[in-house]
């Protein structure tokens, strides 16, 4: 990347205003759900760091340790559990880790 960058939570929210979106997920097995999303588009962050043409992956490093850092903000706006959605061929796989 042309411009490596280190940002904290406050820097992110100052640089990138949060957007609210509603996504409708529909499955071929006839179920559906409405998914509210709050965040900012990843392309805005990538434009800031200017990835090179040889870049293949994006990695994010973070530390969440409120026992070591009193006053640390909640990682998730809604205060819920961590959630990772990964596309796996015919559907989404949900993975929660701590």
40-92 confidence digits (pLDDT tens): 888 898 898 898 888 888 777 767 777 777 776 666 555 555 555 555 555 54
Q: Domain-by-domain residue ranges, the chain? A: 9-95
Instruction: With beta carbons less than 8 A apart as the criterion, state whether 49 and 15 touch.
Output: no
Model pTM? 0.52
């Amino acid at each position: 990347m042309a411009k490596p960058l280190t940002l904290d939570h406050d820097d992110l929210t100052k640089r990138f205003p949060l957007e609210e979106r509603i996504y409708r997920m529909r499955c071929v097995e006839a179920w559906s759900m409405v998914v509210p999303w709050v965040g900012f588009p990843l392309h805005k962050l990538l434009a800031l760091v200017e990835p090179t043409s040889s870049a293949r992956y994006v990695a994010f490093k973070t530390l969440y340790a409120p026992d070591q850092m009193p006053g640390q903000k909640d990682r998730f706006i809604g205060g819920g559990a961590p959630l990772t959605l990964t596309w796996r061929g015919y559907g989404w796989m949900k993975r929660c880790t701590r």
